[in-house]
Structure 1
């Protein structure tokens, strides 16, 4: 396939992936807090582990082994914390507001990279990150502050740490290996927490959790395919379609119409992450799904 045809295909895959991830957020909101976050995490991660298992088994024996167990274990428990915070935030906040705060994760990666990886970013990137944090403050306006916003910021923080620690994994480790072991290693802690907080689960609630697991797995697979087909700098803008989708779904399903100041704050959060390297000195700061 020619290069001219590959870019639209990759963009389409990424937009479809973000649509699936947005449907996952809708599924979580439709749970309406009817199950505990620990139940949700355990069931979703268990389903996600089973979904990726066939892809792991297709790898050679060396590609199936667990590498960097310490880092993988830390990342697994970041998934546990971040997913729980995400469920609380999406349940109690408008979808657009919660996702805008999730998009603060790439902004938090700058100080974390400086601290953990000893990277020294250019001043233009620091300035752009500052603009994004102003956007976060606008979305968090004190007069409209909701306690669930703290959980959204918790999700953003765990996402940032999760992706900074990718640099500590073997560079050539297969994606299926990384995803499988990350999902599996969070289950030993998620299981007793889920059992301790277990609540009766209807088939409808189980169905929404299954929708979330399938959609997030679909997003991860489509994103990998997209970035394998085209340079990230040429298609990363499609990642931001997710915020558009959740805003539209919020209006459609839940009558959540964001006000103008919230829209302005969202724009400030997204601006530093757009692929405008000449303006901001950035390469790619895109949020990856929780």
Structure 2
């Protein structure tokens, strides 16, 4: 494959991730607009129900062998991580600024390092440990212990569940397709989320239902674009585009909710992003380009 084709695929993948992160950021805006007026568990249940209904036709069109559920315990565990993480996310976004909540969410990849060492007995380099510690210091800067808000605990809860969700994906059976994984995870989350939604059910207006549907649809749109992007190019070359989500939520917070980050929040966000940057890819982009050979063939 030529360099131009590879570069084109990489740039198109980056564009897909940027658009996807814009959709995910708008999903957070929809949650923010709910402003806690809908029960958290109502939101989680309706979101998972919508996801199940949307994925069902895709799951059904697969070959029978691909529809099967493998390792039910692991899939059930991951389904309930979604319930906990989504509930914590709603509380965090409702009571914190979009920038603060998302800055903590973005620390999930950093948290995966110690979890991988503890749970999977993985080995890692000193450089990665230093990068993760640096990023966690950024989280502390964002949260500012002297001005600590109780909702920050829920933001950290989302971060932990997201890290565990991504980490346990490595243990999923290889013969379970992505579509089946998404379907079974969504379906298995419905019984408990439905029970909790029933217990805490409150009347819901059409405008609130519209926001929930929009939030769920936007997240599914992000997931679809992310799958397309990571199939087009290696993760290490395009993961930098995921950081666009933080830029979008900061802009939406300023424009829609008058949430202007102070310098400490900006510093903390920068410290969180730096360890997540694919520096090898950046060095590749910034390397000096060799002069092209423009010599013309001379015929006698």
Report TM bin, short chain.
over 0.9
* Structure 1 unaligned blocks of 5 or more: 280-290
TM-score by length of 2: 0.91
Greater shift in the superposed pair: 55-64 or 21-30: 55-64
CA distance in 1, matches of 2:112, 2:8: 33
Matches within 5 A, 1:252-267: 252-267=255-270
CA distance in 1, matches of 2:254, 2:145: 23
Please point out which of 156, 163, 166 is paired with 1:163: 166
Contact 2:66 2:175 in 1 (8 A): no
**Higher Rg of the two aligned structures:** 2
Find the counterpart in structure 1 of residue 102 from structure 2. Answer: 99
Which 4+ stretches in 1 moved above 4 angstroms?
Answer: none
Please point out which of 119, 132, 137 is paired with 2:140: 137
Q: What is the alpha-carbon root mean square deviation over aligned residues?
A: 1.3
SS in 2 for 1:236: helix
Q: Cα offset for 1:99?
A: 0.1
Matches within 5 A, 1:46-85: 46-85=49-88
TM-score by length of 1: 0.94
CA distance in 1, matches of 2:170, 2:120: 8
SS in 2 for 1:67: coil
Please point out which of 174, 177, 182 is paired with 1:179: 182
The question of 1:276 aligning with 2:268 is answered: no
SS in 2 for 1:2: helix
Deviations 1:204-247 (A, max 9, x none): 00000000110000000000000001111111100000000000
Q: Cα offset for 1:257?
A: 0.4
Q: How many residues align?
A: 279
Q: Cα offset for 1:55?
A: 1.3
Q: Cα offset for 1:32?
A: 0.6
* Structure 2 unaligned blocks of 5 or more: 283-300
CA distance in 2, matches of 1:58, 1:210: 24
